[in-house]
Every structure is written in structure tokens, then in C-alpha cells.
Chains A and B, each alone.
Chain A
Amino acid sequence: MAHIDLGNELPGIRGLMAFSPLTEKPLNALAEVLLRGDNSLTRGERELIGTYVSYLNDCFFCQNVHGAMAGHYLGCNIEEIDAIKKDFINQNITAKMKALLTIAGSVQKGGKHVSHDQIELAKIEGASDMEIHDTVLIAASFCMFNRYVDGLATLAPEDRQFYINRAPQRAEEGYTASVYK
């Protein structure tokens, strides 16, 4: 049971958003621009950053919502997404993404954990300033979303297929318009 009476049975962040519509709007707008707006990182790559940070924060709801989204965009099944979460260095993703996921992992620990060497490596692998910026901000944003979802002890469906089933519609409609958000 959630720590507060949300007045609804919606899962994860959806229940919080229905409880607090004034904060719902900018939260969805942030997810929309970060994860779906024009960007040289693909939607799949950005969802992967969100998935990885949610995994590190042990947020079941967020890592499954965004893991399913990443899988949908990248054409991977959930086992492949799980393998990337646990050991991205040895998976079949670009060297640039490995460098960006390393930065995201440092952001999850704390801003000061990001090192000059990590940034240099990302630049050597072809990451632009804007891509590095967006990686840090996506990782920081998921440190917010994950704390919001778990700090208020929201409900998360245990069946992972629930999240996979919703991904295609959410991918089509986006975070501000989809009924699933």
C-alpha cells in the first residue's frame, strides 16, 4: 500500500500523477522532451539510459516501464535488456553508448562521481556536448522519478508482461498524450 491515500488504484507514477495533476503536467512534459524530443540519440538509446539508472536505483516499476520501451524501440526482448542492465560493457551496443551509460551510472551515485576521464572517453567515442548533457540530465531525472515512485511506496504490477504489453501504445502516443503516460 502506498504511504499516502492516492484515491486511485493506478500503478506506479500514474497513481501519483492522478493524485497531483499540477505536478503531473511538467513531469510528463520533461519525460516527453527528454525521451522523445528531437535528438541525435535515438529514443531507444535514451530509454536505455533511463532503464539502466532505474535498475541501479532498484526501482521495479520504472525499470520495467522503460525497459519495455527500450526493447520496443531497439527490437530487443526483455532478456536482452536485462543483460544490458547487468553488464552493458560486454553486450552488443556501440562504444559511444557504453561511454554514456558509464556516465549515467556515475550520475546515479552522485554528480561528483562523474570524472573527467569518463567525459573524455565519451567525446573520443563521438559523443557531442549535447549528448553528454542529455545523458546526465536523463540520468538525473530518473534519480527523481525513481525516488518519487518508491519514496511514496506506490504499487507496481509484478507481471513483467504488463509493461511489455503497454509499450507499443505508449511509444506511439508519447508521455503527455498516452492514457498510460
Chain B
Amino acid sequence: MPYIKLESHLPGITGLLEYSKDTAQPIRDLTQVLLRGPSSLSEAERELIATVVSHGNQCVFCTTAHTAAADLLAGESETAACVKTDIETAPVSEKMKALLTIAKQTRESGKSVTEDSITRAKVAGATDIEIHDTVLIAALFCLYNRYVDGLGTSLPENEEYYGVLADRIVYHGYTRLPQGYDHLKGNNR
């Protein structure tokens, strides 16, 4: 049971974003720019950053949702599964290993990001903008994970919910659906 009264057909983050639309707007805008805006990092790579941070924060809803989005974007599920277990042996580029390590350190604390990790990323070809975006995506998911778990939001009753959600954030993005979410009543619990 969530700690505050949320709409029961909207588990995880969506119930919160609908509960407080004034605060949802800038959060949605920031996410859309960072994860879907123009970038030299692919959308799948940016979803992996979100996945690693949510996994580290043990946020089941966000981890499952962003794993599903990363899988859908990549067309396979091995990469996301591997980065959650061990970044160094995962089938990603050296640059992505370095950026995912920075994300992992940011998750612990801003002060945990080391000079060595930054140097490694730069040597592997990461630009200043890519490093900036990695830190801010990791920081944003530290917000999301705490928001979702700090208010005790519920998990979907049906695992298929995540497939529908991944489809929405891949093909529609992070902006609010123009028609709202009433169509989810009854069939996605």
C-alpha cells in the first residue's frame, strides 16, 4: 500500500506523476531531454545507465521498467542483464564500461566519482558532454528511485505491465500521454 492515496491502476512512478502534475512536468521534461534528446550516446546506452543505477538502488519497479526499455531498444536482453551483474565483463564498449562505472559511483555519492574513472572515460573517447549526461542521468535516477520507494508505491500485479510501459517509453517517450492514463484501468493490474 502506498503511503499516500494514489490511483490504484497506476503502479510505480506513473501514479506519483499523475498525483502531482505540477512537479511531474519538469521531471518529465528533464528525462525526455536526457534520455531521448539529441546525444552521441544511443537511447539504449542511456537506458543502461538508468538500469544500472536503479539496480544499485534496489528499486524493483525502475530496474524492471528500464531493463525492459533497454532490451527493446537493443533487440536483445543479454547486455542489460550483464551490466547489472558485472560491468567489466558485460558486452559493451570500453567507453560504456567507463561511463557505467561513473554512474555507479554517482549513485553512491557525488563525492565517490574518482579522477581515475573520469580519466578512464576520457581515454576511452568519452566527451565532456557524455560524462556530464552520464552523471546527470545517474543523479536523476537517484531521484526517481527514492521517489518511487520513499512513498511505498505498489508494483504491477502483472509482469506484462512492464512490456506495455517499455513500449510506451520507447515509442512515445517520457512526456505525459495526451489522453492521460484512464485507459489502463482494469486491464493492466
- Residue pair B4, A150 in contact (C-beta under 8 Å): no
Q: Contact between A144 and B25 (Cβ–Cβ < 8 Å)?
A: no
Given A137-B20, A151-B113, also A111-B26 (CB < 8 A)? no
B131 at the A/B interface (Cβ < 8 Å)?
A: yes
The answer to whether A33 touches B150 (Cβ under 8 A) is no
| A143 beta carbon closer than 8 Å to chain B | yes
Instruction: Count how many chain A residues have C-beta atoms less than 8 Å from C-beta atoms of the other chain.
Output: 49
A23 to B132, CA, bound (A): 11
Residues 29-77 (chain A) with a chain B CB within 8 angstroms: 29-30, 33-34, 37, 57-59
B132 x A132 contact (CB < 8 A)? no
Contact with B along A18-36 (1 / 0, CB 8 A): 0110110111011001100
Chain B residues with Cβ under 8 A from A19's Cβ? 132
How many positions in chain B have a CB within 8 Å of any CB in the partner chain?
49
CB 8 Å contact bits of A140-158 with B (1 = contact, 0 = none) = 1101111111111100000
Question: How many whole Å from A152's CB to the nearest CB in chain B?
Answer: 5
Task: Write out the residue numbers on chain B whose beta carbons fall within 8 Å of the beta carbon of A147.
Answer: 106-107, 109-110, 135, 138-139, 142
A107 vs B107: C-alpha distance in the bound complex, in angstroms? 14
Question: Does A172 reach chain B (CB closer than 8 Å)?
Answer: no
CB distance from B21 to the nearest CB of A (A): 10
A101 touches B (CB below 8 Å): no
Residues from chain B with a CB closer than 8 A to the CB of A16 are 132
Contact of B135 among A25, A57, A133, A148 (CB under 8 A): A148
The answer to whether B171 has its CB under 8 Å from any CB of chain A is no
**B residues 13-27 in Cβ contact with A at 8 Å:** 16, 19-20, 22-23, 25-27
A139 at the interface (CB under 8 A from B): yes
Residue of A nearest to B141 (CB): A144
A129 and B146 contacting across the interface, CB-CB below 8 Å: no
Known interface pairs A111-B57, A151-B138; A26-B147 also in contact (CB < 8 Å): no
Per a CB cutoff under 8 Å, which of A34, A58, A139, A149 touches B23?
A34
Please name the residue on chain B nearest to A135 by beta carbon. B150
* B110 and A5 form a contact (CB under 8 A): no
